[in-house]
Amino acid sequence: MNQSTYFITDAHIINRVPKSDENIYSCRKVSVVPIDVPVFVAFGGEKTNSDKDANHYAKILETLFDENDISGINIYSVVYNFGSSDSKLERMHLFQQAGRKIKGLDKEYLNEKNTAKLKLMKEKEPIPYYVVKLFNVLLLPRITDDAGRKISLIESKKRIRKIKFYAHCHGATTIFQLGNLMHEKMINLGYSLKEINEIEKNLLVIQHSPIAPLDRMNFNTLSFASADDTMMNQYDQFSEYIYENSADIIPSFFGAPYGNICMAGRLRVQEFQEHSDKGLLKADSTDDILTPEGQIIFAAERNALLNAAKHSIKGGPIPSINKIISGNGVNFKYLKANGDTIIKIMQKDLQIQNLVHDYQK
């Protein structure tokens, strides 16, 4: 690629609003997100490159909250413009930085041409501009005052607790980079590492079929996915084992070393749809759309989103994973026990003790 033709990445944010003559699609572009009201921000997949696409995610959240009598949540959604960048190369680079080995067909994608393109991407945008732009709108005002200075730990935690993130697919990649950028910025502002960790863990993130190094997320993150999802490769022995044995994966929760993720072997009745996030709403959670296992995983994810929304309104410390996920037929202790059993079987099958780091360089 000729460097003179490189177009940097970009992003903007839409706000879900009532339909009107001015906002016929019930959304509007915004440049500011308030820090003192309950906020939910959706980060869609890599194809979320129009207001219409982003509005799809915002509408899902709005409908979900309406179905469960939750009001007072301001809903936003992100629109990407990847310019001359390659979002797949961006994700693969992050996994490489996390020490993962790229294998199989994805390794073939890192051919000479794409390796050169990735090098150019990093030269032009050491941190993708779209990530910087989103950070400046969504997170910087929650850790600085009007003059750009550090604020108190109490005030920053209060502001951070008001905002929640929902991610699908590449959205997790975006949030992963936002977390890294926020961590670096807080160090530069003079926050201590203890303060940084405390602030980061007060931002609750709910993810579906995420593609990012889940064990390296800075924020308080819960993920939900199908073991049979061919797109959600974590480039480690855990994800490889889960996929190869997906038919035997009952609804389970796998803890922090594996990314705090709820999974089951197959979530959908229809084949080749395991990466989809369709299943949160009443109309999409029926027997002809979701398997019995899928209904459990989506019920857990629904609980997480609803409890996250309630927390944005109520405030206070972030609830435990047990309290966030449990209820409406979902038993976290049951999911965790299943996950613990599967990990033991996996460790025995592979005859190693540290599966998560086995693929590290």
User: What amino acid is encoded at 117 in this protein?
Assistant: K
Segment 117-142, tens digit of pLDDT: 999 999 999 999 999 999 999 999 99
Identify the three-state secondary structure at position 216: helix
Q: 170: which DSSP letter?
A: H
- Cα–Cα distance between 240 and 238 in angstroms, integer? 5
Q: What is the DSSP string of 49-65?
A: -SHHHHHHHHHHHHHHH
> What's residue 359's pLDDT?
52
Residue 3 has pLDDT above 60, yes or no: no
Question: Residues 6 or more apart from 346 whose CB is under 8 A from it?
Answer: 238, 241, 355
> What's residue 355's pLDDT?
45
Quick one: average pLDDT of 245-251? 96
Beta strands in 69-162 (DSSP E): 74-81
> What's residue 357's pLDDT?
53
Quick one: average pLDDT of 71-77? 97
Quick one: average pLDDT of 209-216? 95
- Cα–Cα distance between 232 and 151 in angstroms, integer? 38
Residue 19 pLDDT class (50, 70, 90 cuts):
confident
Quick one: average pLDDT of 132-161? 97
CB 300 within 8 A of CB 335: yes
In the chain, pLDDT over 90 holds for what percent of residues?
89
Compute CA distances 247 → 213, 237, 351, whole Å.
24, 17, 21
> What's residue 353's pLDDT?
47
Buried (b) or exposed (e) across 31-55, using 16+ Cβ within 10 A? Answer: eebebeebbbbbbbbbebbebebbb
Among 169-178, 207-216, 323-332, 349-358, which stretch is predicted with the lowest mean pLDDT? 349-358
> What's residue 2's pLDDT?
52
Q: 184: which DSSP letter?
A: H
Q: Nearest-CA neighbor of 94 among 262, 217, 248?
A: 217
The per-residue pLDDT of the chain, averaged, comes to 94
Classify residue 185 by burial, with Cβ atoms within 10 Å: 0-12, 13-18, 19+: middle
For residue 312, the Cα-to-chain-centroid distance in whole angstroms is: 17
- Count H helices and E strands in the chain, helices first: 12, 9
Residue 39 has pLDDT above 60, yes or no: yes
Q: Nearest-CA neighbor of 185 among 137, 247, 233, 136?
A: 136
Segment 310-355, tens digit of pLDDT: 999 999 999 999 999 999 999 999 999 999 999 999 999 887 545 4
> What's residue 233's pLDDT?
86
Question: Residues 6 or more apart from 18 whose CB is under 8 A from it?
Answer: 26
